[in-house]
Amino acid sequence: MKLIFFLSVFSIAFNSSLQEAYDNASQYENYDKYIILEPNTTYTGGLGIYEGDVYINCQGSTIDLEGGNGIWVYADVVYPSSLVIEYCSITNGPYYGISFGGMSEGNIRNCNFVNTNFGLKLFDVSEVSVTNCIFSNHSTYGLGLYGEDTSLDISFSLFWENEESDSMESCPGWGNIWTPLELTPGNGIIYENPDFININTYDFNLSENSPCINNGNPNYLDSDGSISDIGAKSFINQNCQINGDLNNDTIINVLDAIDLVNCVLYNDGCNICYDMNYDSNFNILDILNLINIIIN
């Protein structure tokens, strides 16, 4: 009965588009939409959020914008809204990866913004916190702030190969004139190649020489107890050769689920491969992810 309850609440997405996942998501805790995407999957299209509080955990999956709009969030006094998003790789957009406007709020952790025009855009009086993120290969800026009243708190993030600049802000009263946005290197900001395996095939795993490994926010730990990595896919998860095959018999079935239940309930046999949703914990969410893999 308890498992059925969690299945109904968490609304694990089986759909191919981000919009469908949003439409089918349920309310949970303080969120009006609580979205858990399937790991190692590509979802298509953007999303507009203009009311309510939304949580998205991509679990290492990719959002391919397919040349269209990205994810935009807008709020005002009548219709407040916010977005918490983590472990997502957002790519292939001609405009932006994520945009916040109005009075919206956001918290972005462990996301990759790759190959859009702007990785992240902030307008008006929006307030956004960013940590453990990668901004690379954008045709204009990694991130851009429009106006003097936006609020950005960014730390432990990497910028690389953004064509015009890594980060810029628009000068109020001067039209479309941009000046460099100085980010403090001492706050964990890195300007190096993230060393993805292959961005052309959307393989955003980190190579063993990546500067992102163990250089993330020390307030978060990876499943092996090390300091968190920067980016949507932790390097340690690459040690698991078949996702969900916890007993290494090349078959993903109920025997793997039993192993995971023993891990969650009794802390028996746990290792990094049992952390199915990359959150450095072993709990019911990992079981739900494994069930999702088995039944599909």
- Both 245 and 232 in one domain: the answer is no
Total number of domains in the chain:
2
- Both 192 and 252 in one domain: the answer is no
What pLDDT, on the 0 to 100 scale, is given for residue 234? 85
Answer left, alpha or beta for residue 148, where phi above 0 means left and psi between -120 and 50 means alpha.
alpha
- Both 30 and 116 in one domain: the answer is yes
- Both 76 and 169 in one domain: the answer is yes
Which residue range forms the structural domain that includes residue 101? 2-236
The domain boundary residue, chosen from 236, 254, 283? 236
- Both 198 and 285 in one domain: the answer is no
- Both 159 and 257 in one domain: the answer is no
Query: Which residues are within 8 A (CB) of 20 and not within 5 positions of it... i.e. 6 or more apart?
Result: 13
- Both 182 and 280 in one domain: the answer is no
31: β partners: 28
Q: Helix (H, G, I), strand (E, B), or coil: what is residue 200?
A: helix
pLDDT tens string, the chain, 296 residues long: the values are 334 334 333 444 344 899 999 999 999 999 999 999 998 799 999 999 999 999 999 999 999 999 999 999 999 999 999 999 999 999 999 999 999 999 999 999 999 999 999 999 999 999 999 999 999 999 999 999 987 899 999 999 999 999 999 999 886 554 567 788 878 777 899 999 999 999 999 999 899 899 999 999 999 987 667 899 999 998 865 567 677 888 877 789 999 999 999 999 998 888 878 888 767 788 998 999 899 888 87
- Both 274 and 222 in one domain: the answer is no
- Both 232 and 244 in one domain: the answer is no
Query: Which residues are within 8 A (CB) of 197 and not within 5 positions of it... i.e. 6 or more apart?
Result: 203, 204, 205, 206, 207
Q: pTM for this structure? A: 0.78
Residue 182 CA to residue 169 CA, distance in Å, equals 9
Rg (CA), the chain: 19
- Both 101 and 232 in one domain: the answer is yes
What pLDDT, on the 0 to 100 scale, is given for residue 30? 94
CB atoms within 10 A of CB 104: 26
- Both 68 and 215 in one domain: the answer is yes
Burial bucket for residue 59 (CB in 10 Å: 0-12, 13-18, 19+): buried
What pLDDT, on the 0 to 100 scale, is given for residue 56? 98
What pLDDT, on the 0 to 100 scale, is given for residue 172? 58
Quick one: angle between helices 254-266 and 284-295, nearest 10?
180
Closest CA to 235 of 205, 196, 198: 205
